[in-house]
Amino acid sequence: MNQLIECVPNFSEGNDLALIKQITDEIESVEGVRLLNVDPGKATNRTVVTMVGSPEAVVEAAFRAIKKAGELIDMSQHKGEHPRMGATDVCPLIPIANISMEETAVFAQQLAKRVGEYLHLPVYLYEAAQPNKERSNLSVIRAGEYEGFAKKILLPEWKPDFGPAVFDSKRGATVIGARDFLVAYNINLNTTSTRRANAVAFDIREAGRVKKVNGKTALDDKGNPIQIPGSLKCVKAIGWFIEEYGIAQISINLTNINVTPVHIAFDEACKKATERGMRVTGSELVGLIPLKALTDAGKYFLQKQQRSEGVSEKELIKIAVKSMGLDELSPFNPAERIIEYMLDNQPKKKLIDLSLSDFADETASESPAPGGGSIAAYVGSLGVSLATMVANLSSHKVGWDDRWEEFSHWAEKGQQIKDQLLKLVDEDTQAFNQIMAAFGLPKSNDEEKAIRTSAIQAATKNAIDIPLGVMSIAFESMQVIKAMAEIGNPNSVSDAGVGALCARAAVLGAFMNVRINAADYQDKAYIASILQKGQEIEADAIQLEKEILAIVDQKIGSLWLV
């Protein structure tokens, strides 16, 4: 499987967009690398760039970008709110797929060595790439910043890992390393005071603040300053004033969002700001964020409202954005800020992105796809969507407040099944297209015939397995539908009934596609087992539909007796 790493170099220029483009052009000149995001900041005078690709390609792109930044940026003229020490201030590599942190660290070391030796630039390793843990912390390496580096670099303990131990007044120095995914996140305050923003930052960051006694630093038995830890783990934070916005912010690095998620950092900052007489007005992300971080945030804020979490991915993201004010300073476009969305190189899914009328028109056209398999999957998605609607309505029903979590659970399950079935709408059509492509392969000699036959059989098996998956998932949806018929809002019981009809149609329709495609598959033992499994699911679905409709009929009938 392909290895993927992310690279997030930070360049000390945030105002000259033409200059920044010259740097990013170097990145885009490397095949195998995709530039995901360019996020310039005027007040910080800093641009955060996000790229992803194969390790070798990313290392090459990073080298070219560092070289170009050193040619274009003059650190002796640089001023900005963010701590910095070089034209390319920091350049982390992050493992994304099929690569370990240890392997990523080796690539970071290779990049650092090349930059130091070929560009004659002082380079420091950090985080996982730095074997000396006493100098692996970025903030420790960068302490004193550019202005203090002329003296710092001469100290024996601060000799660069690569490159000359000579202060470069134009380019400064660069820090290269390997780390986990980091979320850079700024929280907006209704104050212009950097000191007060720092107070909140010290309250929440893991390092906390130095203990003071009568205005003096308190020391432990060994003469070291005593630290009062902050309230959040894996959080680095400082306060600053952003002239561009006219407000102070808490600038946060979340180094492990599994330990401290974005929404927890936001809520804790709100709490500490309130305690100090301030108010959080919103927040902003710098660079990209994983999808799960926002969907988890959406669920968190719904849970606080005691509302069902079983809503669509799009709705969860919207709730997260509004709850944390991620759009206060500028529009927040999920397609440009969520890493999974940016990594999706596939064209838009042809069918499920169509309008209802366009989907119907496409189905009615002379094209053989979408056919019965895709329609079965879509009908199944509609059936479980109805049950999910009943769950969400029930979770908000007046007088049922103590049951919202129960219905939220069912709604979440329904959403998951719906998403699976929608995915299968396109997969079934793609399976048909693969069969047609296999039949179109050349067959002029025995070798070509063998390759063609093998391709046809592989495509046929896929065209059997996908509708079989539709059957299984649609049948699973009937458990949600039955639960909503039994315990859901009685005023919506007819919706559960229609959902059952859809689910049964999905199961039976998908099985027709299994059977017709199975006729052309040569492995008869496999076909026998598949048909037996399909018959069992079909029989179970028909029986379960009868049970659900009996419940629905009984409840509707009782309404007439009132």
CB atoms within 10 A of CB 191: 21
Distance CA 482, CA 497 (A): 9
Tokens matching residue 311: 């809503």
Has 120 been annotated as catalytic?
Answer: no
Extract the tokens encoding 102.
């240890």
Catalytic residue among 161, 203, 428, 495: 428
Angle separating helix axes 262-275 and 194-204, nearest 10 degrees? 120
Residue 443, helix vs strand vs coil = coil
- Whole-angstrom distance, CA of residue 338 vs CA of residue 468: 33
Collect all residues with Cβ–Cβ distance below 8 Å to 253 and sequence separation of at least 6.
Answer: 182, 183, 184, 185, 235, 236, 237
Active site residue 82: yes
Which neighbouring-strand residues pair with 37?
A: 50
CA distance 548 to 262: 42
- Token readout for 69 is 């930044």
Catalogue the E-assigned strands of 279-376: 280-286
Alpha carbon distance 439, 268 (integer Å): 60
Burial class (CB in 10 A: 0-12, 13-18, 19+), 141: buried
Give the CA distances from residue 22 to residues 65, 262, 348, 470, in Å, rounded to whole numbers and listed in that order.
Answer: 9, 33, 30, 49
Catalytic residue among 39, 82, 267, 495: 82
Q: What angle do CA 485, 490, 494 make, to 5 degrees?
A: 60
Strand, coil or helix: 505: helix
Phi, psi of 382 (to 5 degrees): -70, -40
- Alpha-carbon separation of residue 510 from 11, 373, 423, 474, 533 (angstroms): 54, 5, 14, 9, 13
In terms of C-beta density within 10 A (0-12 exposed, 13-18 middle, 19 or more buried), how is residue 1 classed? exposed
Residues involved in catalysis? 82, 428
